[in-house]
Amino acid sequence: LGTVISPDLNRLAQMQPNQKARFVAVSLEEGLEARRRYNWQVQRLQHFFLR
């Protein structure tokens, strides 16, 4: 068992039934950095579409 980092939740939610997933261990720092990058990308998209 493990925890899916928040930037990967969308990808996990879109998986098809019986589709295989591979989990990779990440440190707390790596998970936080992935979340920062994800939030930055979302903000850029919001700015692009809402201008």
Which pLDDT does position 51 carry in this prediction?
81
Given a contact cutoff of 8 angstroms between Cβ atoms, the answer to whether 28 and 7 are in contact is: no
Transcribe 3-40 into DSSP letters.
---GGGHHHHHTPPTT---------HHHHHHHHHHHHH
> Which pLDDT tens digit goes with each residue over 24-50?
999 999 999 999 999 999 999 999 998
Q: What is the mean pLDDT of residues 1-25?
A: 93
pLDDT in the model for residue 26? 96
Q: Is pLDDT at 1 greater than 80 in this prediction?
A: no
Residue 4 has pLDDT above 80, yes or no: yes
